[in-house]
Amino acid sequence: MGQGPILYSAIGHVENPFRDIAAPEEIRAEESRVVLDPALTDGLEGLEPGQRIMVIFHFDRSHGYELRQHPRGDRTQPRRGVFALRSPRRPNPIGVTVVDLVAIEGNVLRVRGLDALDGTPVLDIKPA
């Protein structure tokens, strides 16, 4: 594949009760906190509770990938291409989830609908 490494730095991390792998719908049902580096707080200006935003994050606990996978590891389902799945096992382990912004408390965003685990590095936030 083309060019060499592309480096990003986390702008924050996720906080929620899910330290280990769980069903995505179970994680999305709980409220999560996206804790930004306090130096980046001014970058939240213009975001409003009730808005939908994209949280872009790094699947830091995912290792390796397969181009064809059974959805959610369910072998009763036919294999599909990784780009047709939300699997964390991808060539670039990047996740994107559109969430509901519940509240902004300083450098902390309270969100609902995020399917990232506790401690997951956040790379960016964008309006949906």
Residue 27 main-chain phi, psi, to 5 deg: -65, -45
> Strands (DSSP E) along the chain, which ranges?
12-15, 31-36, 52-58, 68-69, 80-81, 94-105, 108-112, 121-127
What residue ranges do the domains of the chain occupy?
12-127
Question: What is the tens place of the pLDDT at every residue in 36-76?
Answer: 999 999 999 999 999 999 999 999 998 888 899 898 778 89
Report the C-alpha gap between 117 and 20 in whole angstroms. 7
CATH number for the region 12-127 comes to 2.40.30.70
Res. 1 pLDDT band, cuts 50 70 90: low
Residue written as token pair 């702008």: 11
Q: How many residues does the chain have?
A: 128
